[in-house]
């Protein structure tokens, strides 16, 4: 299967981030999530993925895949959205939260130097989902909203190809970027883990 995938995978470039503003002193403020990180030159935001390079904010995980699998939709877990169908699940690295109980901490608390990353284009992800007869693409495993630029681009192409888009997310995203992404998302699992109902 690895040789088959190599024919599909390529890409993985640094991309200028969306939703940020320049500040004095070559600093930037990220507006993707409610942390609104102020990031000095050469530093990263709390997610470890958005970096200030020469006074511009870049997404270092664009097109970088840490995990992919053709999963039953119920594994997302979504039980009433296209039950019995296959979801092509993809994830990258990084997260805007640092939960001590995270089941995917190896990737959620890593960055673009994680040793097992593959590069992919949005087009390749859509083709792979179709190849595996999946009805949807699930952005999962780590926090997909910090992979915003790639998720947005891929979800648009997936819609054009007749695929559904699923976010498995902590839901910690600012309103403006969420509203821009929402028209392309068909289902979401806002994943909250807690010890008590409160």
For position 14, what pLDDT does the model report? 79
**84-97 average pLDDT score:** 93
Mean pLDDT, rounded, for 193-197: 68
Each residue's pLDDT tens digit, 40-79: 999 999 999 999 999 999 999 999 999 999 999 999 889 9
Confidence of residue 194 (pLDDT cuts 50, 70, 90): low
pLDDT at 180: 98
Q: DSSP string spanning 80-124? A: SSSTT-EEEEEE-S--S---TT-TTHHHHT--TT-TT-EE--HHH
Q: Where are the domains of the chain?
A: 2-8+62-190, 15-59
pLDDT of residue 198: 66
Q: Which CATH superfamily is domain 2-8+62-190 in?
A: Aldolase class I (3.20.20.70)
CA distances to 96, 99, 105, 197 from 118, rounded to whole Å, are 22, 25, 18, 38
- Is the pTM above the cut of 0.95? no
- Whether residue 125 is predicted with pLDDT greater than 90 in this model: the reply is yes
Rounded to an integer, the average pLDDT of 3-11 is: 47
Cβ count near 140 (within 10 Å): 24
* Banded pLDDT at 12 (limits 50, 70, 90): low
State the chain's mean pLDDT as an integer: 89
């Amino acid at each position: 299967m690895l040789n088959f995938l190599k024919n599909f995978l390529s890409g993985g470039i640094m991309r200028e981030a969306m939703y940020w503003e320049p500040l004095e002193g070559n600093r930037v403020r990220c507006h993707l999530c409610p942390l609104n990180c102020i990031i000095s030159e050469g530093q990263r935001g709390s997610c470890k993925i958005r970096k200030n390079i020469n006074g511009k904010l870049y997404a270092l995980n664009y097109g970088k895949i840490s995990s992919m699998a053709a999963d039953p939709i119920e594994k997302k877990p979504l039980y009433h959205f296209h039950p019995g169908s296959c979801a092509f699940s993809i994830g990258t690295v990084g997260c805007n939260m640092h939960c001590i109980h995270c089941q995917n901490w190896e990737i959620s608390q890593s960055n673009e130097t994680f040793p097992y990353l593959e590069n992919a284009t949005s087009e390749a992800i859509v083709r792979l989902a179709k190849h595996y007869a999946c009805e949807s693409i699930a952005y999962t495993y780590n926090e997909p909203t910090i992979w915003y630029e790639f998720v947005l681009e891929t979800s648009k192409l997936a819609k054009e190809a007749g695929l559904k888009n699923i976010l498995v997310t902590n839901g910690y995203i600012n309103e403006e970027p969420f509203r821009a992404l929402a028209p392309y998302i068909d289902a979401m699992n806002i994943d909250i883990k807690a010890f008590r109902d409160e």
